[in-house]
Amino acid sequence: MVAATLQTANPTAGTVSRQPQTTGNPTASASAPFVRASRGMQILGPSQVGQAYGTLWTPSIKPVGGYLRYLNLIVTSVTGGTLTGASLAADAPYNAIQNLFLRDPYGQPIIQADGYSLFLINAYGGQSGMLGFGNNPSAEPSWTAASATTGAFQFTLDVPLEMDSAAYCALPAMNAASQPQVQLQWNPSTVVFGAHTGTDPTLTSTLNEPFWGAPVENPQLAPPDVGSSAQWSVARAAATVASGAFQRIVLPRVGTFIHTLILVLRDSTGARIDQWPVSDLTLWADGVPLKMEFFSERADAMFKQFGVTRPTGVIVYTFRDSVQSAVSTADTYDLLFPTTPATLLEISGTFGVISNAPATIQVITGELYPLAGIPFSHLAQ
């Protein structure tokens, strides 16, 4: 006999079940997925007003009753400045952040990125929002474009931790004496607004803390393969790029599973430029070409995978498309790119004419360090 529930009628009485729904949690068994037994929650994290450009902010992350999903960084340049002769840099307003370092409680770097790189991580990392909706920070309702007259702007960026909606790589943060460490260095105002006179505005920043609550009825239940880590790093390729030359440039940061490669071509002034190889853009691994394509094909693939208008100078290779061509948190990690410390990873082709040569390639690498050694093994849990 099927028991009456709120969805199953009782024909005899002509009613539905009125059994209280708070008498127990049927999802709290040890075999239930962690997120089914948990709850998505958030606390208000550290906040600081009146910060001057060029200063250092070292907020103290608050303990939470569970596992951090990401940190929600809200940055506001407060109206009240009066700028004369200012002009917005191409990376503004995100380049207000010179460097953001997030380390685990033992000092291991999890994320090291400048502000514009963090914007690209949000747009192309597959850990924020979804295809064409929520993964472009500049399209969010709270976003405010920078003003060259007052210096005012607002943006929100995720500092990502978990890889997917199953809480994979969420970071334990329940011990008040052992919390992640954050350092945020602000750029001088001249980096954002160019050489100018007048009165600079001040910065207000907040790091709110979304997390998965520890299951009340089974507090021992943890995210899958807890201790695994999704990390991001920013580095420059050692070799510079000459104008109009064919080159094979070695890319840094190998030695684990790579899920995303974001490459930014910048000229000698630091400006992003679109002088990537037009007809022979090639990604190599140990001398074997992984992708040989036109630049236009790479740009089209990025749009299909992410739904975001490609910024000047940026190309992306994602390995998070095992489920569908559009990148999402539903990925099963079957196509992640495994590397060893000896892996030779290169980008090559005939680069375009670079007015301010030589150029450099900034490499933003999304890395996965699975505790169990096999990233997709957690999906069977």
Q: Is the pLDDT of residue 7 over 80?
A: no
Average pLDDT over residues 260-274: 97
| Residues 198 and 278 grouped into a single domain | no
Look up residue 325 and give its amino acid. Answer: S
| Residues 169 and 261 grouped into a single domain | no
Q: How far apart are CA 312 and CA 91, in angstroms?
A: 10
Reported as a single tens digit per residue, the pLDDT across 353-376 is 999 999 999 999 999 999 887 776
| Residues 346 and 275 grouped into a single domain | yes
Are 281 and 294 in contact by the 8 Å Cβ rule? The answer is: yes
pLDDT band at 106 (very low <50, low <70, confident <90, very high): confident
Q: Does 136 reside within a domain?
A: yes
Structural domains counted in the chain: 2
Are 59 and 48 in contact by the 8 Å Cβ rule? The answer is: yes
Q: In this structure, how many other beta carbons lie within 10 angstroms of the beta carbon of residue 221? A: 19
| Residues 138 and 106 grouped into a single domain | yes
**What is the pTM for the complete model shown?**
0.90
- At residue 163, the pLDDT reads 92
- At residue 177, the pLDDT reads 77
- At residue 33, the pLDDT reads 86
Q: Is the pLDDT of residue 150 over 90?
A: yes
Q: Which residues, other chains included, contact 283 with Cβ-Cβ below 8 Å and sequence gap of 6+?
A: 261, 289, 290, 291, 317, 345, 346, 347
Q: How far apart are CA 273 and CA 89, in angstroms?
A: 14
Q: How far apart are CA 307 and CA 130, in angstroms?
A: 9
Q: Does 223 reside within a domain?
A: no
Element at 160 (helix H, strand E): strand 153-160
Reported as a single tens digit per residue, the pLDDT across 29-71 is 556 789 999 999 999 999 999 999 999 999 999 999 999 999 9
Q: Which CATH number fits the domain that encloses residue 83?
A: 2.70.9.30
Give alpha helix (H) positions in 49-142: 115-124
Element at 56 (helix H, strand E): strand 56-57
| Residues 195 and 341 grouped into a single domain | no
Q: Does 21 reside within a domain?
A: no
| Residues 111 and 189 grouped into a single domain | yes
- At residue 10, the pLDDT reads 54
Q: Which of 2-16, 216-230, 266-280 ranks highest by mean pLDDT?
A: 266-280
**Coil, strand, or helix at residue 161?**
coil
| Residues 185 and 49 grouped into a single domain | yes
In Å, the largest CA–CA distance within the chain is 84
What percent of the chain is predicted at pLDDT more than 90? 75
| Residues 258 and 172 grouped into a single domain | no
**Full residue range of the structural domain in which residue 54 is found:** 39-213
